[in-house]
Every structure is written in C-alpha cells, then in structure tokens.
Amino acid sequence: MSFSTGGALRAIASPLSRFRSVEERIGILGFTLALVFAMSQSLWAHEFKVADIEIVHPWSRETPAGAKVAAGYLLVRNNGTEDDRLVSVSGEIANRTEIHEMAVDDKGVMTMRPLGEGIEIPAGGEVELKPRSYHVMFMDLRQAPKQGESFAGTLTFEKAGTVDIEFSVDAMGGASTHMDHDDHGG
C-alpha cells in the first residue's frame, strides 16, 4: 500500500485535521490533482452551462485575409422543462453580431435571413447552429479569427440569462457539414 493513497483517504476522512505528516501532505496533493483533473474534463469537452442550458463546442472558421465577417456555430441543449430562447450573441472579434439563418435552395441560390426574434430552444430539446443552417454572424470584424486560436463571446437567453463562452477557431474549410459523407479529402 502506498502512503499517498492512505494520506488521501485520511485527508478525505478528516478534512479538519492539520495535515502535519508528509503522508498527509502528499495525500492532499494527490487528491487536489485528482480534483483538478476531474474538473478539466469539461474544459476539454468544451462545454458551457447556464441554468438548464448547456452549450456544446462553440466554433468558428478562419476567415480570408481582409474579410469583414465571420460565422459562429454551436449546439444548445435545453435540459429544463420550459422553452427558452437564444436572443443575442456577442463576440470579442466583432463590433456587431446577429443570428442568421442560411439556406441553399434546389436552384443553387443561397439566401440569408436575420432572426430578429432569436432561436427558440424547446424544453428537453436541442438546436444546432451549423453550416447551411442557423449561424452566428460576426460583422464589422475587429480582429480575424485564426485557426487554432479561440475568442471570447457571450450568449444571452431569455430565461437562463447570459453565459460567457469561448469559440474555438477551425480551418477555413474545416469541420464542415460533411458528417453525413466522409469523402471530404484534404
């Protein structure tokens, strides 16, 4: 039996003890490391939470040189029993941000519409902002999103309130809609 395990056990068992021995100190250290490790899991999974709302993997794409706009995507899950609504988004890279819906019709025409009312997130449901669908439109860019970096943003929900998030930046043609066909070479 290693003394660190014993130390950790004793540390958990008697949180008010004064941890004088080396074993106890090592135990505390081990326990703290384990805690940090457990908490950082959510960082790697890139999730954010506010009240019953869960936000999964906000991401953006690197923009061409000199571009004035960028798009943001994310998945919003409503674990509550009441409908909520994503009413606004902001991002540190842009002076203005709107929520848009994009579509390409069967004639190959791309249309884009601002969603002034935001997007409803139904109770127990989820909505994904993704290419060819809803997206966050960052306009009048202050800085260009660069692949491998991330930038701060906030989401405001009608009921759940405001939450700070981070958008991670993918390649220009990255993480596209090709989930359904994996032929996207290169």
Partner 1 sequence: MADDKALRRLRRSIAALGLTAVLLIGATAWLVFKPGGPLVADATDTVEIGGPFSLTTHHGETLADVDLEGAPFAVFFGFTHCPEVCPTTLWEMSETLGQLDEEADGFRMLFVSVDPVRDTPELMASYLQSFDDHIVGLTGNETEVAALAKAYRAYWRKVPLENGDYTMDHTASVYLMDAEGRFVGTIAYEEDQETRLAKLRNLLRG
Contacts with partner 1 by CB under 8 A lie at 61, 63-71, 96, 98, 100, 102, 104, 107-114, 116, 131-132, 135, 137-139, 172-173, 176-178, 181, 183-186
- Provide the minimum distance between the beta carbon of 26 and partner 1 in the complex, in angstroms, as a whole number: 52
Which residue from 87, 150, 91 is spatially nearest to 115, judged by alpha carbons? 87
SS3 state of residue 90: strand
The residue (of 15 and 116) whose beta carbon lies closer to partner 1 is 116
* Closer Cβ to partner 1, 15 or 66, answer by number: 66
Antiparallel, parallel or unpaired: β 119-121 and 84-91 = antiparallel
Instruction: Give the HSE-up count for residue 3: Cα atoms under 13 Å, Cβ half-sphere.
Output: 6
- How distant, in Å, are the alpha carbons of 25, 45, 153, 169 from that of 150? 37, 14, 10, 6
In sequence order, what are the residues at sequence separation of 6 or more whose Cβ sits closer than 8 angstroms to the Cβ of residue 122?
A: 78, 83
Task: CB nearer to partner 1: give 12 or 139.
Answer: 139
SS3 27: helix
Minimum CB distance to partner 1 smaller for 8 or for 136: 136
Nearest distance, CB of residue 23 and partner 1, angstroms: 58
Nearer to partner 1 by Cβ, of 83 and 98: the residue is 98
Min CB(170)–partner 1 separation in Å: 12
**Residue 29 or 115 with smaller CB distance to partner 1:** 115
Task: State the nearest-atom distance from the C-beta of 62 to partner 1, in Å.
Answer: 8
183: exposed, middle or buried (Cβ count in 10 Å: 0-12, 13-18, 19+): exposed
- Identify whether the C-beta of residue 164 lies closer than 8 Å to the C-beta of residue 48: yes
Work out how close the CB of 75 gets to partner 1 at its nearest, in angstroms, rounded to a whole number: 17
What is the nearest approach in angstroms of partner 1 to the Cβ of residue 158? 18
